[in-house]
Structure 1
Amino acid sequence: MDRLHEIEVFVSVADAGSFAKAGARMRLSPPAVTRAISALEDRLGARVFNRTTRSLTITDVGQRFLENARRILIDLDTAEKEAVGETSVPHGHLTVTASVTFGRSALTPVVTAFLNQYSRISVSVLLLDRITNLIEEGIDVAVRIGPLSDSNLVAKKVGSVRRILVASPDYLARRGTPLSPADLRRHSMIAFTGLMPNREWRFMDGRSGHSVSFMPRLEINDAVAAIASAENGDGITIALSYMVADKIRDGRLVPVLDAHAPAAVPVSLVYQQNRLISPKVRTFVDFATPRLRKILADLVIPAVDPSTVTVSQDRSAD
């Protein structure tokens, strides 16, 4: 069996965490994957994976070999591209993902500008309101909002956003402005389930974080619909700052309890660090980073100084 093929299969299994998933990515049958790994283990005289019917873990030998295996594939890929003069010319197909609302408002315009400049690259944009697995789903670059827990990803910060409560001026004129987080229980709350999965709002009280729970009048699983309902005067909803910055500037929505809003969270472009960083990925990240930073900077809602906040009397109990 081809030794290079064995190495490619080994790295693919290590990345995917599964023989079946690696086989699907490489278009190999499960027996073919098993044969390649068995041949590699026979050659090394040691097991590279501990496998049962329910789990797959890499051994110490496999972990040590993995670093060298990746280096071999990187060197080979670089040599082939240099031979045909492709190292400096980004080309191929790129798959990028983001949440639905962020993709519509920020990512898609950047992708369009990117395609206009790089004619040899095509792009698939996946707008999904869930965390994707880059390896399993064949994604090159993802936009992640919030802290990153996966240490196997390279992250480039492009900005930050805040969770913010908003309501229409008409609603606040009718029902009054909440003076404290506890007042939310007496208001009509529109829960966007993507940001309020437990029907509660996390807020800051000085340096400590607390939460207030409530029974929403309306639950919506789409941010745009929840914001539209709030703009219509139906109640108070939660949004990420970039979603409502323009509406706040135009006076269609008003921040509520902004002095208690949680700290900003990062927005990052992430991609895999353990795979070859192809020219198309590197070029897209370099292209998108400054443009997304500008878009997010233009959509910043400054945090409110509590000493400058003016509120109306809460009449929600009337």
Structure 2
Amino acid sequence: MDRLEELRTFVAVADLASFAEAARQMRISPTAASRAVASLEASLGTALLRRTTRSVRLTEEGAAYLERCRAALVELDDAALSLRGDGATPGGTLVITAPVTFGRLHILPLVNHLLRAHPALRVSLTLIDRVVRLVDEGIDVAVRIGDLSDSSLHALKVAEVRRILVASPAYLAARGMPANIPALHDHDLISFAEIDRAPEWRFGPAGKPAIRIEPRLIVNTADAAIAAAVDGMGIARVLSYQAIDAIAAGTLVSLHDDAAPPPVPVHLVYQANRRGSVNVRAFVEAARDHFGGLDLTARAPTGRPGPRS
């Protein structure tokens, strides 16, 4: 096995924490995978992986070398693709991350479309409700919802979403519509921890009024917040795309849209040196087409209008 394949094998074993799984992915035998990593370690004069009968873990040296390997393999793959010119087609592995619900609803369909269109392409899609570092975790493209803080990344805005209040018709029938924003204090509130980092909800274009919340229920996923609201457990604050299907189905209505804060941008972000990647370009173009005619702000139907706060 040549050095390039040894590097690919090492990265696969490190990512999967398993020689057997890496071998299966690379279509080689577990023995060949083990020999490839051993040969790489011998040439470097240091152990990259710590092996036991139950686990495979990176050594400190291996963790540092892994990131350099990722970067090198990306550059080599892009160089090979660039030699084919404008007619190059996506191939190899594209690594994407996105928030859980947004990824399930919008990014997975894009990925499925690309996989059908490009047989040589493989995609690793990680859905997680936290911001990941692209370089550290080997990510090609990340979906970020909210203002961007890392100016070193290239960003393309593809959509907007809103923070909205939602409740079920049954809950509103039993408890009544809150007359204004301060009246939320008299209601059962459901907090989605990922967007409620502080114990307050802000409204209006300037973030006023702001109310301190004491939720009856705190959950760590949007799906759980939506399910609890649909079940009549209270008023939830979520992002509009998370509730858009439930609103369309009539199982939730949005409240006090007139007091909503400004929309939140949705960006695709990637490192500047990935702009020329055929895989990244294909994903970005597919995303442009997907989001071009899509409204994720869920502005209707809404609850009965109450007095302005």
Q: Distance in 2 between matches of 1:209 and 1:20?
A: 50
Q: Distance in 2 between matches of 1:122 and 1:276?
A: 19
Report the counterpart of residue 173 of structure 1 in structure 2: 173
Cα deviation, 1:53-105, whole Å, max 9, x if unaligned, reads: xxxxxxxxxxxxxxxxxxxx98x988765656686232110001100010111
2:67 corresponds, among 25, 31, 36, to: 25
Contact 2:94 2:123 in 1 (8 A): yes
Contact 2:167 2:252 in 1 (8 A): yes
Letter in 2 for 1:201: W
Q: Distance in 1 between matches of 2:300 and 2:250?
A: 17
Determine what percentage of the aligned residue pairs are the same residue.
44
Structure 1 pair 135–77 and aligned structure 2 pair: CA distance change class (3 A): same
Letter in 1 for 2:305: T
Cα deviation, 1:244-296, whole Å, max 9, x if unaligned, reads: 122212221111222111110111111101456311111211122221334x4
Contact 1:161 1:300 in 2 (8 A): yes
| Pair 1:194-2:189 in alignment | no
Aligned length: 246
Letter in 2 for 1:261: A
Letter in 2 for 1:24: L
Contact 1:202 1:211 in 2 (8 A): yes
**Structure 1 counterpart SS, 2:203:** strand
Contact 2:255 2:305 in 1 (8 A): no
Report the counterpart of residue 310 of structure 1 in structure 2: 305
Contact 1:161 1:266 in 2 (8 A): yes
Letter in 2 for 1:104: R
Letter in 1 for 2:242: M
State the TM-score, normalized to the length of structure 1.
Answer: 0.69
Contact 1:258 1:304 in 2 (8 A): no
Report the counterpart of residue 289 of structure 2 in structure 1: 290
Report the counterpart of residue 35 of structure 1 in structure 2: none
Q: Distance in 1 between matches of 2:78 and 2:167?
A: 55
Moved more, 185-194 or 269-278: 269-278
Report the counterpart of residue 13 of structure 1 in structure 2: none
Structure 1 pair 263–148 and aligned structure 2 pair: CA distance change class (3 A): same
Letter in 2 for 1:110: L
Letter in 1 for 2:174: R
Larger Rg: 1
Q: Distance in 2 between matches of 1:103 and 1:83?
A: 32
**Structure 2 counterpart SS, 1:159:** strand
Aligned counterparts, 1:124-143, within 5 A: 124-143=124-143
Q: What runs of 5+ residues in structure 1 fail to find an aligned partner? A: 1-18, 29-72, 313-318
Contact 1:81 1:87 in 2 (8 A): no
Q: What runs of 5+ residues in structure 2 fail to find an aligned partner? A: 1-60
Structure 1 pair 289–22 and aligned structure 2 pair: CA distance change class (3 A): farther
Question: Aligned Cα RMSD in Å?
Answer: 3.1
Offset at 1:146?
Answer: 0.9
Letter in 2 for 1:25: E
**Structure 2 counterpart SS, 1:209:** coil
Report the counterpart of residue 243 of structure 1 in structure 2: 242
Offset at 1:179?
Answer: 1.8
**Structure 2 counterpart SS, 1:148:** coil
Contact 2:96 2:140 in 1 (8 A): yes
Structure 1 pair 270–122 and aligned structure 2 pair: CA distance change class (3 A): same
Contact 1:202 1:210 in 2 (8 A): yes
Q: Distance in 2 between matches of 1:234 and 1:273?
A: 45
Structure 1 pair 20–274 and aligned structure 2 pair: CA distance change class (3 A): farther
Contact 2:247 2:300 in 1 (8 A): no
Letter in 1 for 2:213: F
Contact 1:241 1:301 in 2 (8 A): yes
Letter in 2 for 1:126: T
Structure 1 pair 172–278 and aligned structure 2 pair: CA distance change class (3 A): same
Q: Distance in 2 between matches of 1:275 and 1:226?
A: 36
Report the counterpart of residue 159 of structure 2 in structure 1: 159
Contact 1:78 1:87 in 2 (8 A): no
Contact 2:94 2:140 in 1 (8 A): yes
Q: Distance in 1 between matches of 2:210 and 2:62?
A: 43
Contact 2:190 2:235 in 1 (8 A): yes
**Structure 1 counterpart SS, 2:208:** strand
**Structure 1 counterpart SS, 2:109:** helix
Letter in 2 for 1:311: G
Aligned counterparts, 1:1-318, within 5 A: 23-27=65-69, 81=81, 88-204=88-204, 207=206, 209-275=208-274, 277-294=276-293, 296-297=294-295, 299-302=296-299, 310-311=305-306
Q: Distance in 1 between matches of 2:211 and 2:80?
A: 58
Letter in 2 for 1:23: Y
